[in-house]
Amino acid sequence: METSFHMSLPCVSVSSTQDFYVNKLGAKLGRHTQTWLDINLFGHQLTFIKAAKFEFSKPSYVFESKVLPTFHFGVIVDSIVWKKIYANLQDSGMKLVTESTFLEGKIGQHKSFFVEDPNGYMLEFKSFKKPTETFKH
């Protein structure tokens, strides 16, 4: 059975959140009002609700000698989509955590990069060398 996730998060600005996800990432806009919006991110539903100021501490961790944000969510896409999103974000001047290859030569080898959305959330985009290894260990 194919499933998708739903995540609801606070946002500072509905319009800047919409611009980032729809115009910069190429996601589809779903139902929305002036105070909230649904984003279709590769078949997964993200709901952003306008909220008063909020803060998240962003502790990091080290994985294969790279410092990565502990608090993040992301999407696994094929290599063509991954390259397109990475190039679009580079061209837009967004601050990206540079692409890295993890688990090189091992089960689960993948390319990854992070980008921060207008609300301070870190998104990770992954592309596995062998998609069948996404959950293998």
Residue-wise pLDDT tens digits, 41-89: 998 989 898 887 766 666 777 788 887 777 788 889 999 999 999 999 9
* Cβ-Cβ contacts under 8 Å for 58 (sequence gap 6 or more): 69, 70, 71, 120, 122
CA distances to 15, 29, 36, 49, 131 from 33, in Å: 10, 11, 5, 10, 37
Residue-wise pLDDT tens digits, 80-91: 999 999 999 988
Mean pLDDT of the chain: 87
Phi, psi at 34, each rounded to 5°? -75, -15
Separation between Cα atoms, residue 137 and residue 6, nearest integer Å? 26
Most confident of 11-25, 89-103, 108-122: 11-25
> Has this prediction a pTM greater than 0.85?
no
Domains in the chain, CATH or no CATH each: 6-50 (3.10.180.10), 60-133 (3.10.180.10)
